Structure 1
């Protein structure tokens, strides 16, 4: 009855609780929705019944029961949705550009806003969501540093993200933070911490109940163990990662941060483990499987995996083929700056070329790409 009166215009000015609810749900003022306070003597714009009907048709099914109950939602409700949209925009920027200072600063600004708003939240649930968003923004800033190869300061961000995830009581956010800490430790060469952090990710509630998350954690443990010169344990962890991924349902919705993980990424991590433990032929095969499975839109993943493929070929003594493969990285990334993490990998490749007996092909590659990979 009440909704029908709104749509017909019989009720032109709902009570305050309803007005606040409608504004929070729609993100627009009640005046914009076409409601008019007839008691006010000031002139107001003419009512737009089409706008009001359109809004009610699209939202009443999801929210009418909530509005009819009377209490207005927390002021933070609309902010939660807005901040989630901002976080999605930052992820899209990361996909396009990779880690850089602007992304880091924007993520930190989002974290500060989410933390500020949680103090004003009227419900514990909204407060937890805002804490979780603050943790997610802080994790995005951390990833920006890791991807850009600027590792200083990342520990401080991760400590903050871990605290925020705990306040949010968000198991998946906790796993994301431990996953990043494992990656950071590996980049720094602290392999015991890389393993311990990946094991902490494996112990989270989300990893215990989700085969997808468990698979990623097992793979991170495997990479850390391989660098720590424990090949048998590393390969055993890879096996567990494969078994867990086989149990994961690819049709189930997943959080944006782990959308990258699947067969292609596991093949890519397998290539790293196989190369590090001294099996470059298997590393090459795994890299080819990863490239075959990668979606075309994952351009940076494709470039990074291609660089790993070039390293595996180089480690088999095939410098000519390795140089040809390594050169395609720049073709894949044409028009986009190389993230610091990728430049570091290409630096490893270039040093490997120098360590081998110089050939015209390797000298040409070094002369052609040295400036490009070192300053891109």
Structure 2
């Protein structure tokens, strides 16, 4: 992560109201902002870019709130309107919005894999999307990645195979191609390395929440190697060593989850086992509970329900001393999923009851940071999966619908997952028209989300719906699903 620096005092900048970008508005034509945003995303995919363009972003450009786009959007816009420059599209020259820190080498976007220079935080009334002096990115919403050029660079690096999060976030390791090179680059790890490692974990999770695991997994291998190189390098302070072990273990779990969600179960199992070993070496009960939690989830998805039950029970034994009812709630849900896979309805219902009771105790200071995704929506979604596994489709559909309605919009992947669950439950429960409507919503979300797990669920739903092609909306859904590019 490029570190922000505190700027020296600068003369106050007069507030200038945004000037509407009438040229850009004219180029949109008769298309709605949402339709134009979809066209921007399609154009991005044509050139290997990944941008999170939506109607809000288009509105911000047209009202002049964004005076100059970041480099990713610049490439997309120039691809959409060949032969034009940014100024031809109604934007201000990049040099005019970067203050005194305009690039000496001109306005040429950096090549893939090149980390932008460290940013300086400037005044709050700046209106560019670039992030140099006087033009900070919007920090009010950490998940709004198209407002943050640094996040966009990181996402593009993952998706296109350029620089990795290791290069962007594990500063001392630079662009190390392998663990041995990284180890040679570090003599002793320090607190800054531990902090960078923790930030890398947060960024991977953020990108996964927004876009799903496919395309991220292989890009995350380098930061994981770099993390364990930091452990091998050693440190002089026990507190720093503890943070490094915890960070490396959490990163192994995050990379394991990317493998899990993209259908690479053997890889995921290996990464989770690595995290578990790291936890035990360090004596880190929180990390051990997390590793067992994900192992249980993987075992359920891989068709090993008895292993799921045992791993979830092991996680609960470790977690009892941690003082987090929400963690115990999630672990009980993992156990419930295993019992459902064993067709043990009584065992599943008992675990679900414990999960609900723990959840109702509310959040606490002891809740792990990685559990930020776990709220009422996830509780409903996991219960829906249990009832679906037991074949109680109406009950599963009720919980899946509630999960999709309750989910925070930042967790795009989870909304797609719950809606895919809903579509499948409706289809199997004899409500093909409603299933087709839910399936269409999932297809809309797949423009932003890459998850083999969701794609596999949706493919199963289409097979269930094939005999119901004449039902309202089903034919349109099936045709649209069939027209998707392979792997989408």
TM range (shorter): 0.7 to 0.9
Give the match for residue 339 of structure 1.
Answer: 451
Q: Contact (CA 8 Å) 1:226, 1:276: kept in 2 or not?
A: yes
| 3-state SS of 2:227 partner | helix
Give the match for residue 372 of structure 1.
Answer: 484
| 3-state SS of 1:265 partner | helix
Q: Contact (CA 8 Å) 1:139, 1:161: kept in 2 or not?
A: yes
Give the match for residue 219 of structure 1.
Answer: 333
How far off is 1:115 after superposition? 2.4
Is there any run of 5+ residues in structure 1 with no aligned partner, and where?
Answer: 1-25, 34-73
2:470 to 345, 359, 368: 359
Match status 1:268 vs 2:384: no
Give the match for residue 256 of structure 2.
Answer: 142
| 3-state SS of 1:217 partner | helix
Give the match for residue 354 of structure 2.
Answer: 240
TM-score of the two chains, using structure 2 as the length reference: 0.58
1:321 to 427, 434, 437: 434
How far off is 1:374 after superposition? 5.2
Distance 1:292 1:327 in 2: 16
How far off is 1:190 after superposition? 1.1
Q: Contact (CA 8 Å) 1:99, 1:339: kept in 2 or not?
A: yes
Moved more, 284-293 or 130-139: 284-293
Is there any run of 5+ residues in structure 2 with no aligned partner, and where?
Answer: 9-187
Give the match for residue 179 of structure 1.
Answer: 293
How far off is 1:357 after superposition? 5.3
Matches within 5 A, 1:85-164: 85-101=199-215, 103-118=216-231, 119-164=233-278
From the two aligned structures, give the one with the greater helix fraction: 1
Matches within 5 A, 1:32-47: none
Give the match for residue 117 of structure 2.
Answer: none
Matches within 5 A, 1:279-294: 279-294=392-407
Give the match for residue 409 of structure 2.
Answer: 296
Distance 2:396 2:237 in 1: 51
| 3-state SS of 1:372 partner | coil
Question: Residues 253 and 233 from structure 1, CA distance in 2 versus in 1: closer, same or farther, beyond 3 angstroms?
Answer: closer
| 3-state SS of 1:248 partner | coil
Match status 1:83 vs 2:197: yes
Q: Contact (CA 8 Å) 2:211, 2:412: kept in 1 or not?
A: no
Q: Contact (CA 8 Å) 2:292, 2:314: kept in 1 or not?
A: yes
Report the count of equivalent residues. 304
Moved more, 275-284 or 172-181: 275-284
Question: Residues 328 and 27 from structure 1, CA distance in 2 versus in 1: closer, same or farther, beyond 3 angstroms?
Answer: closer
Distance 1:115 1:316 in 2: 48
Moved more, 261-270 or 120-129: 120-129
Superposition RMSD on alpha carbons, in Å? 2.5
Distance 2:451 2:189 in 1: 39
| 3-state SS of 2:287 partner | helix
Q: Contact (CA 8 Å) 1:129, 1:168: kept in 2 or not?
A: no
**Greater radius of gyration (CA):** 1
Distance 1:375 1:120 in 2: 42
How far off is 1:295 after superposition? 1.1
